[in-house]
Amino acid sequence: MEQWLWPSGGAWLLVAARALLQLLRADLRLGRPLLAALALLAALDWLCQRLLPPLAALALLAAAGWIALSCLARPPRLPVATRTVLITGCDSGFGKEAAKKLDAMGFTVLATVLDLESPGALELRACCSPHLKLLQMDMTKPADISRALEFVKVHTSSTGLWGLVNNAGLNDIVADAELSPVATFRTCMEVNFFGTLQLTKGLLPLLRRSRGRIVTLGSPAGDMPFPCLGAYGTSKAAMVLLMDIFSSELLPWGIKVSVIQPGCFKTGEGSVNNLNCWERSKQLLLANLPQELLQAYGEDYIEHIYRQFLHSLSLAVPDLSPVVDDIVDALLATQPQHRYYPGRGVGLMYFIHYCLPRSLRRRFLQAFFINPCVPRALRRGKPGPTPAQDEARAADPNPGPSPAVAE
């Protein structure tokens, strides 16, 4: 066993020296990927000790460690210098945190907010440098967007515009597509698609001049049929496709386009405000639902999906730094990724969506997000089964009568 000490120890010494150097240069981040790589190297070391001669083991282990650390290293980044970035939707959530981070890094940040006196706007004024400029803009109002375009042109005349972060977004209803008013689809499209389109097109001359960056916050709901997010998901799907088109068409101009598809994060201004907003949304839906649909689905159906939605929100991750870090990387990496997937379980979600059968995909999204109960009209005059019983009945090729449960 002693003959293995020097090759194994020598290889680990090389790996440790490079890892330490990368950590000191901030090219490597402590976290699960690094721990996983070290665990795999330890397993490889164990196999080498039993299968290979010492010199071959040293070469293989050192090469594997070097490759692993190279893969984990952050790509080279551009200097911040005097770069100016416009971020939309900075009242709260990702936009506010990204504005604070970029301002602290030395960017000149132009931040749009819905209300210049909102808590988020006041916080940005209080904690950021004088280089950060706030601008009121409503993405549903073309006049506001036109005014913002003029504002950006004036404030970037000397520095140019390096980046646009399309963060502003809207989702104000949770319901089946049949239950969601057409006006809600239009509103989501106005904010998430048409507003983003108008702003991006208006800024392209400045971005072409700087060969800059476009970073857009998407959503997995735009890639997958999340239950009860039809209006929001379709608008995000349209926006992401638009960014893919821009990515291809703007490549000759040197503009790089990235889309960030975050998992479930807590982005609201406060839990009490969120609960009140969603309660008002539910009551508004119930009050305006045609009687025929209310009879078919039942008020308890809508109450159930809102309870499940609020439960999923309670499990959201409060730390927004993974998304903010990806925004920074998309703005400064010499070769930014086309897609970023920050958040817990997002990789698994996309694997299931693209690789597993449709029935398993549907069940996963229901278990992960919202599992609707059976609509009233399908209960055959009896209280609806629980979601688990409903799945069991769907899987049975010869189902018997639906079991009655207490409501």
Active site positions, annotated: 232
- What does the alpha-carbon distance between residue 251 and residue 24 come to, in Å, rounded to a whole number? 34
Long-range contacts of 344-353 (CB under 8 A, 24+ apart): 344/263, 344/264, 344/317, 345/263, 346/220, 346/261, 346/262, 346/263, 349/220, 349/224, 349/263, 350/220, 350/223, 353/223, 353/224
- What does the alpha-carbon distance between residue 358 and residue 324 come to, in Å, rounded to a whole number? 33
DSSP state of 403: P
Nearest by Cα to 152 from 162, 143, 142:
162
Q: Determine how many CB atoms are found less than 10 A away from the CB of residue 169.
A: 25
Instruction: For residue 166, give the H/E element and its range.
Output: strand 163-166
258: which strand partners?
Answer: 215
108: which strand partners?
Answer: 84
In 140-211, alpha helices (H) = 142-155, 182-189, 196-210
Q: Determine how many CB atoms are found less than 10 A away from the CB of residue 309.
A: 20
Q: Which residue has the tokens 């406060």?
A: 270
Per the document, the length of the chain is: 407
Q: Determine how many CB atoms are found less than 10 A away from the CB of residue 97.
A: 21
CB 69 within 8 A of CB 19: yes
Nearest by Cα to 226 from 275, 166, 279, 180:
180
